[in-house]
Amino acid sequence: MKSDNPFSLTFGMLPYKVISRYEEKNNVVSTFNAQNAVSHVFLIEGIRGSGKTVLMTSISDELCVNKDWIGVDLNPAVDLLDNLAECLVNSMNIFPDILGNGFSISAMGFGIGVNGSDKKSSIGIIEEILERLKKKGKKLIITIDEVTPSQNMRVFASQFQIFLRKKYPVFLLMTGLYENIYNIQNDSSLTFLLRAPKIKLGALSLMQIAREYEDIFSIDIEEASLMARETKGYAFAFQAFGMLLWEYGVTDFTNNKKLFSEYEALLDDFAYKKIWTELTKKEQNIVLSIEDNRSMKASEICSAIGMSNSLFSQYRKKLIDKGILSSPSYGYVELTLPRLHKICRYYE
C-alpha cells in the first residue's frame, strides 16, 4: 500500500516536507532572543508561493518551544487591536500562572472585565497583560500574515510603537508582497517600520531541493537534480512538482506529458493567475517577451515590445523587486518562476 503523499499544496500550513531557510530563521530567532534586541520587528517579503508563511510559522514555533515565549497569530482582515486583546485573553487561560492570584479576566459584552471591574478597552487589557508578562520575564511574539496597507494596520502599528516605548516585551513578525510591504514602510505615519529589518525571500537552494527529492524518492542525485531544476527553486513548485512525482512515479518523468500538463495547471490555479492580475500591462508585456529558461538581453526585449531602455530599466527594477525577474549578469534578465512564460501566454 502506498504511503501518504509527503507534499502539500495548502497555503498557510507547514508542509511535512519543507526546505528550511536556516540563515533567515536563525537571524530572527537570535535577534529576538538577545538580551537587548536590536530590533523588535522583522518583515518577510516575497512573491506568492515563495514560502513567507512557512518561514514565519517556523520562526514562531521555534521561539514558543521556549516557555518564556507566548505566540499569537492575528488576522489582518479584522480589527487588529481587538484581535490581539482576544488572543491574549485566550492565552491567559492556557497560562493562568502569569496573571497571579486575585487577577481574573472575563468577557463583558464588547469589552473585557478585569478583577470584576467595568469593561476595559482593548488597549487597556493588552497593557494589563503585557505588564504582567514583563514582570514574569515572558516575551510575546505577534505574527501577521499577508499584511496590506490600511487604516487598521496604521492604528495597530502606531500602538505597537507605543508598546515598545513603554518597554513591553513585544515582538512583531509580518509577511507581505513587495508592493504591500513597500507601501506600509513608506507610510508617513509608520516611519519606525521603515527601519525594520526586511527579509526578501528568493529561490530555494536547488541543491537542497535535489537532496530532498533524492531522499524521498530513493533515486540518485543526478536524477534528483534534474527534478530540482524543473522547480527553479520556487517554494510552491517544490511542493507541486513533488506531489505529482509521488503520484505518477519518477520513472522517465521527463517524457510524462500528463505530469507536466498537471504541473502547469497547478502553477496556474494556485499562483500564476493571481500574480498575473497584479501586474501592470507593461509588466505583463515584458513577462511575455522573455522565454522560459533563457537569459535575454535588455536591448532584445526593448526591441520586441517597443520600449525605451530608460523606461525598461524602471520596470526591470520593479519586476526584480516583486520576485518575477532576476539579473544573472549585466544587461541580461530572466524569469525566476518555472514555466511562467508558457503559462502566461494563455492569459492574452
pLDDT at 110: 39
Question: pLDDT (tens digit, 9 = 90+) per residue, 59-86?
Answer: 999 999 998 999 999 999 999 999 999 8
Q: What angle do CA 176, 166, 28 make, to 5 degrees?
A: 35
Alpha helices in 109-252 (DSSP H): 122-135, 151-165, 178-185, 191-194, 206-217, 221-229, 235-248
Range of lowest pLDDT (108-112, 131-135, 330-334) = 108-112
pLDDT score of 208? 95
Whether 315 has a pLDDT exceeding 70, the answer reads yes
Q: What pLDDT does residue 109 have?
A: 43
Query: Mean of the pLDDT values across residues 187-216?
Result: 91
Q: What is the pTM assigned to this prediction?
A: 0.89
**pLDDT tens digits for range 239-279:** 999 999 999 887 788 889 999 999 999 999 999 999 999 99
With a cut of 70, say whether residue 41 has pLDDT above it: yes
pLDDT-derived band at 289 (thresholds 50, 70, 90) equals very high
Binned at pLDDT 50, 70 and 90, residue 111 comes out as very low
Read off the C-alpha cell for 27: 537571524
Q: What is the CA angle 213-218-221, rounded to 5?
A: 60
